[in-house]
Structure 1
Amino acid sequence: MTIVRIPLLALALLFSVQGFAATAQQDKMKTCNADATAKALKGDERKAFMSTCLKAGSDTKAMTPQQEKMKTCNAAATTKELKGDERKAFMSNCLKK
């Protein structure tokens, strides 16, 4: 009997986790849809808004410190309009700090 209960327990746990993920996605869809309706968006504008809105929540993964550093250094290099070897040297220096 114990052998049968363990797989059933694992199966129940799997379904409960999937149910939570589906609920979170459904909640996000409801929120984005309500926002689009409140803004009276129609057609292509609504599609674009919904796409952006739904993607905004999918960035739940936080960037690693290295990724944040890379983003900061890249933005600084772009602001300074560095190109080629100058940009490579700047990026290398910036990332070492």
Structure 2
Amino acid sequence: MSKRLSLIVAGAALVFAVSAVHAADTKSLTPQQQKMSDCAKQNKGKKGDDYKNGVKACLSGTPAAAPAKQTQQEKMKSCNVDAKAKSLSGDARKKFMSDCLKGSP
């Protein structure tokens, strides 16, 4: 009988401990803690610097970081594709490429 009583007492202690931990988890968060939690959820799945930058931007209230600026090589490739799609040649192509690489409309 004492072994059974020991198990009951141990089980009751375990239930009490779990309920105490659960009560601590469900206490209300401060506004800053809630904001941090929300920002972490928004950036779930990101890793490393992407995660850090996403959370930092969220906490500061700035919009998500813009995509990285195109390199000169990427701009050249994109402008070439656009010029080819417009069937440009000669001076018209040169002017288009110049404006496109400068970022002019």
Q: TM-score range by the shorter chain?
A: 0.3 to 0.5
TM-score (normalised: structure 1): 0.42
Structure with max Cα Rg: 2
Greater relative CO, 1 or 2 (CA 8 Å, sep 6+) = 1
More helix per residue: 1 or 2?
1
TM-score (normalised: structure 2): 0.39
